[in-house]
Amino acid sequence: MRLKLLLPLLLMSCMFSTLVLASSDDSQQPVHIEADRAEIDEILGVMTYTGHVVVRQGGIEMRADTVVVYSKEGELQRITAQGQPAHYQQKRADGKMVKGSSQSMEYSANSKQVILLGEAQFWQEGNRFSGNRIQYNPNDERVVANAGGDINKVGEQQRVTVTLQPRPKETDPGP
């Protein structure tokens, strides 16, 4: 019984190792998953982890209530995460952190993009983005935030908010 569960978990770890959410160093690191429960359906290529799920790979960490990994013919297709909220953080190759939180997250192995959905917030180099939907592409460090047209809890039209931190001025060394 344990061997039957171990094989799919090892296969999943191999699939995750091709995940390029960060620098190439992260994609070569082993994946560590902790959860209260794991359910693997090899025929459908669906792996579901529930209960205080923590996924770590190199400088990447995702925390959620539920994480579902979808694969096809042994190749990773996408990952979804649900939480109240779900959290994502990545230490980039330059040592700087990016962080995000939302009600749900989606990662596409094809496009390498992370999409934060529902009460989404994203922090990059001190800058803060919030909206209903935030798309982050780690390859070119591009962030796209959308309000989504939803009405917020106090009955107002939701809008994207962005807080940009000023860049420190370089000091003139003088003569």
Tell me the C-alpha distance between 108 and 125, whole Å: 24
56 CB neighbour count, 10 Å cutoff: 16
Phi, psi dihedrals of residue 89, rounded to the nearest 5°: -145, 150
Q: Which residue has the tokens 């061997």?
A: 3
How much is the average pLDDT of 67-84?
89
46-57 vs 75-91, strand pairing mode: unpaired
pLDDT of residue 162: 93
- Give all domains of the chain, ordered by start, each with its CATH number: 2-163 (2.60.450.10)
At residue 27 the predicted structure's pLDDT band, cuts being 50, 70 and 90, is low
Nearest to 23, CA basis, from 93, 110, 88, 90: 93
Percentage of the chain with pLDDT > 70?
A: 77
Tell me the C-alpha distance between 9 and 13, whole Å: 6
What tokens does 146 get? 């959308």
What value does the mean pLDDT of the chain take? 81
